[in-house]
């Protein structure tokens, strides 16, 4: 968890320098197993792994596309 946080904090600086408005990191608290499918199987989570769901907010699609191009 600490290693991921350091990695995410570094990434946040880069994304925000390129125009990202907000980044949300949501750590697993309770992710139940489903009967047919579930989040754990969707991401192939291994026993003991935590699921992190993240998203970014950009001013618009064009800003995001331009930032992606510069970052790559």
Per-domain residue ranges for the chain?
A: 2-71
CATH 3.30.70.100 fits 2-71, yes or no: yes
Q: How confident is the model at residue 57 (pLDDT cuts 50, 70, 90)?
A: very high
* Mean pLDDT across 34-48: 88
The whole-model pTM stands at: 0.73
* Three-class secondary structure of residue 60 per DSSP: coil
Q: HEC profile for 8-58?
A: HHHHHHHHHHCCCCEEEEEECCCCCCCCCCCHHHHCCCCCCCCCEEEEEEC
């Amino acid at each position: 968890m600490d290693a991921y946080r350091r990695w995410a904090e570094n990434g946040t600086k880069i994304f925000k320098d390129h125009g990202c408005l907000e980044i949300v990191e949501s750590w697993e608290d309770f992710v139940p197993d489903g009967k047919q499918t579930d989040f754990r199987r969707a991401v192939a989570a291994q026993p003991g792994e935590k699921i992190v769901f993240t998203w970014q907010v950009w001013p618009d699609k064009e800003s995001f596309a331009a930032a992606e191009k510069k970052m790559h």
